[in-house]
Structure 1
Amino acid sequence: MKALLLAGGLGTRLRPITNTVPKCLVQLGEQTLIDYWFELLLKGGVEQVLVNTHYLADAVRSHIAKSRWRDRIQLVHEEVLLGTGGTILANARFFDNSTFLVAHADNLTCFDLDAFKQAHEYRPGGRETIGTMMTFDTDSPETCGIVECDAIGLVRAFHEKVKNPPGNRANGAVYIYEPDLIDLLAKTGQQEIDLSTEILPSLMGKLATFHNDCYLRDIGSLSSLEKARYDIANSKMFSGLVSS
């Protein structure tokens, strides 16, 4: 399996830190945020990782050039951000017409990658189900995309950052998709595509879920960044994701 890490965002909610540091390179304990992703995915069996760049791209390129994983990381630059779906479509060849993983690199997470892959392989709905979305329980549901599922775990409704959402089971912005998604993206005729707002609403009943009950936090504010730093300093779960 190959993976795409989306790392080109501006990180405006983390200013002033991100005035000079791209969000994916914000320091969390002994490593940067994106380093935790590399350790999780590449130690977990992902063959190669593609990282898109945009904001402060030179800093990201320099950091990855020094990474122990650099031979298994590819970079692609976007002069104009293409959106989640647009980046997938523009790099379709990278995925070799195979099942692939996509993640927003502005989250801190810990999960069993093998369990995630197995959940996708044996997902309800079989071939009619185009992908598997990771979910988590959030303490700030109004800032997340809230998911409603049916009895077998298929997504039936999606509420993107609304007031008074119907629950706290949220989209973790980590997915495993079948290559059928790329065909769906191509049919839009667009280059810039936002997966959450333009594609996910059309996939109700075609997305399975995998619940992350280990750890996932959206690093979407300075307060959540401090909570993540505290969690890393005080939890043993991240010890296996520190580069040695």
Structure 2
Amino acid sequence: MIGVVPAAGEGTRLRPLTDSKPKGLVSVAGRPLLEHVFEALLDSGVDELIVVVGYRAGDIIDHFGESFEGWPITYVHQRERLGLGHAIGLVEPHVDESFVVLNGDNVVDGTLDRPIQRFEESDSDAVIAVEKAEPDRARETGVVTVDGKRVTGIVEKPDEPPSTLVTTGCYVLSPRVFDALELIEPSPRGEYELADALGVLIRAGRLVEAVELDTDRVNVNTPADAQQAEQVFDSEGV
């Protein structure tokens, strides 16, 4: 399975750590953030990496080169940062099978086996890895509503979250998502949201499912988040 890593963002909330390097090269537990992302994907069975780069793209390409631990890396340039949906759409020429997405600022303490296994066992077009969150946090991310495992709705950064289940930046997707991405318009924030494309699939009657991510995860957006991620590894003696 192919692993897609969106890593084009500037990481403004991580300043001053990102003043002279891209977010993906910020050190977490003594290694660049992206190394942790790549390892989580490879440990989950991924055998090829596609990395969407933007801000200081050359630094990431120079650091990792054409492979990571022997597995090939393809770089795709997102020259305008127009949202996660836009980033995913850019990889279409390189993808002809189902693929797993893990955002490039996610430190995962374990594997993505649970959502990948659910995708492989079901007839779904998408599996969203989710976790429970307080309302304040839910207002800052994607929120899903479900009937059992089936997703009935998904909304990005709602003022009034309709549930406590939030997206985690991990998705397993079929190529059908590219057709849905072509049908969406920019959000009020001016971005093409992956959530809107998944909403297209839901309204078309396609099966989109949610599975809770059964591992600790830290979304590294601020220096405090980087410290929290380091504590995850320190607790395991890494």
CA RMSD in angstroms comes to 2.6
% identical aligned pairs: 26
Please identify, of 163-172 and 32-41, the stretch whose mean Cα deviation from structure 2 is larger: 163-172
CA displacement at 1:166 relative to structure 2: 4.2
2:172 pairs with 1:176: yes
Change (3 A) 1:213 1:24: same
Residue of structure 1 in register with 2:129 after alignment:
134
Residue of structure 2 in register with 1:146 after alignment:
143
Paired residues for 1:106-121 under 5 Å = 106-121=105-120
CA displacement at 1:130 relative to structure 2: 1.7
Q: Map Cα deviations across residues 116-136 of structure 1 (whole Å, 9 max, x no partner).
A: 32111223xx2xx32000112
2:182 pairs with 1:186: yes
Quote the Cα distance in structure 2 between the aligned partners of 1:36 and 1:8: 16
Paired residues for 1:60-79 under 5 Å = 60-65=60-65, 68-69=68-69, 71-79=71-79
Ranges in structure 2 where 5+ consecutive residues have no aligned partner = none
Quote the Cα distance in structure 2 between the aligned partners of 1:109 and 1:34: 11
* Residue type at the aligned position of 1:196: L
Quote the Cα distance in structure 1 between the aligned partners of 2:195 and 2:152: 15
Quote the Cα distance in structure 2 between the aligned partners of 1:189 and 1:166: 22
* Residue type at the aligned position of 1:61: I
CA displacement at 1:209 relative to structure 2: 1.2
Q: Normalized against structure 1, the TM-score is what? A: 0.82
2:57 pairs with 1:57: yes
Q: Map Cα deviations across residues 154-206 of structure 1 (whole Å, 9 max, x no partner).
A: 1123342234534432101111111111222234599x962335323334463
* The structure with more helix, counted as a fraction of residues: 1
Q: Normalized against structure 2, the TM-score is what? A: 0.84
Paired residues for 1:34-53 under 5 Å = 34-53=34-53
Quote the Cα distance in structure 2 between the aligned partners of 1:63 and 1:189: 35
Ranges in structure 1 where 5+ consecutive residues have no aligned partner = 240-244
